[in-house]
């Protein structure tokens, strides 16, 4: 139960849906207006209640990134600037430099939180991608291939054709010429395989020397399946690698 909730929160943070963004906009506006009203009724901008305005600024930065945090900081600075007295009891107005400097701090906080949130969001997306893809070739790994298999079986039933292609002597080549050489060769072979296989057919590096792909067993040949000569096309091409 808890893991499911955390996963939903993580997904909402990485890719906020439109409904979440609209809700966040409403909460941010209410937070800004509420903070301004509270600062006014509690005596003015010189009291600690002014710091409540950081909450909508941080929320805007988390949801909308750096731009959202800075824009909200500007709005908050204007809202708590010339329109709010420094001390309502003595009717003391704020000086121009006072509220402008405060606005700068608001923008700095929104920008820093926005940069941190964008960086974290980018890293989480990269981890999700690396969990299902091979970093060197960009192809699906065994985890991602298993997920696409489950989806294909749910969509097409049991009529799924699974093909495994072994790259002969790749491990011997790696042991002879080194990991860097075999990595370049493997990348070229995978790029060639991706050219031969239709875009809607997933291809995966299920082991170091084995590629796998699958296609519905009874699909129309012109609609996405590929012929046996194309599968042999990988071996019919010579790959040239340069040093360095």
**pLDDT surpasses 50 at 226:** no
DSSP 112-125: HHHHHHHHHHHHHH
Give the list of residues 6+ apart from residue 174 with CB closer than 8 angstroms, or none.
Answer: 181, 182, 208
- From residue 18, how far is each of 78, 126, 184, 232 by CA, in Å? 27, 22, 42, 46
In terms of pLDDT, which residue wins out, 127 or 44? 127
CB-based contact 213:201 (threshold 8 Å) = yes
pLDDT, tens digit (0-9, with 9 covering 90-100), for 31-80: 999 999 998 888 888 888 889 999 999 999 999 999 999 999 999 999 98
Domain spans in the chain, listed from the N-terminal domain onward: 2-132, 142-232
What is the predicted pLDDT for the residue at 196?
75
Q: For the chain, count helices (H), then strands (E).
A: 8, 3
The pLDDT value recorded for residue 105 is 94
Residue 94 is classified by DSSP as P
Residue 146 in contact with residue 154, Cβ under 8 Å? no
pTM value surpassing 0.75: no
Nearest to 204 by CA among 212, 193, 196: 212
Give the CATH architecture of domain 142-232: 2-Layer Sandwich (3.30)
pLDDT tens sequence across 176-185: 888 788 878 8
| Minimum mean pLDDT range among 23-27, 105-109, 205-209 | 205-209
* Cα torsion 218, 223, 226, 227: sign: positive
pLDDT at 137: 77
| pLDDT band for position 221 (cuts 50, 70, 90) | very low
């Amino acid at each position: 139960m808890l893991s499911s909730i955390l996963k939903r929160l993580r997904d909402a943070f990485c890719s906020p849906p439109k409904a979440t963004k609209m809700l966040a906009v409403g909460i941010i506006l209410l937070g800004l207006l509420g903070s301004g009203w509270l600062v006014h009724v509690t005596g003015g901008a010189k009291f600690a209640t002014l710091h409540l305005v950081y909450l909508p600024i941080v929320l805007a930065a988390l949801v909308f990134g750096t731009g959202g945090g800075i824009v909200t900081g500007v709005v908050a600075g204007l809202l708590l600037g010339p329109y709010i007295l420094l001390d309502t009891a003595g009717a003391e107005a704020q000086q121009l430099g006072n509220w402008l400097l405060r606005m700068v701090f608001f923008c700095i906080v929104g920008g820093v939180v926005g940069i941190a949130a964008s960086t974290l969001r980018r890293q989480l997306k990269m981890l999700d991608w690396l969990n299902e893809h091979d970093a060197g070739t960009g192809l699906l790994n065994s985890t991602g291939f298993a997920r696409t298999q489950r989806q294909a079986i749910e969509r097409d039933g049991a009529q799924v054709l699974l093909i495994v292609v072994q790259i002969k002597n790749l491990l011997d080549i790696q042991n002879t010429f080194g990991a860097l050489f075999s990595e370049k060769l493997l990348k070229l072979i995978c790029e060639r395989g991706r050219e031969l296989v239709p875009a809607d057919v997933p291809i995966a590096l299920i082991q170091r020397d084995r590629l796998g792909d699958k296609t519905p067993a009874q699909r129309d040949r012109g609609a996405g399946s590929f012929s046996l000569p194309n599968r042999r096309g990988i071996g019919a091409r010579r790959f040239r690698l340069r040093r360095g």
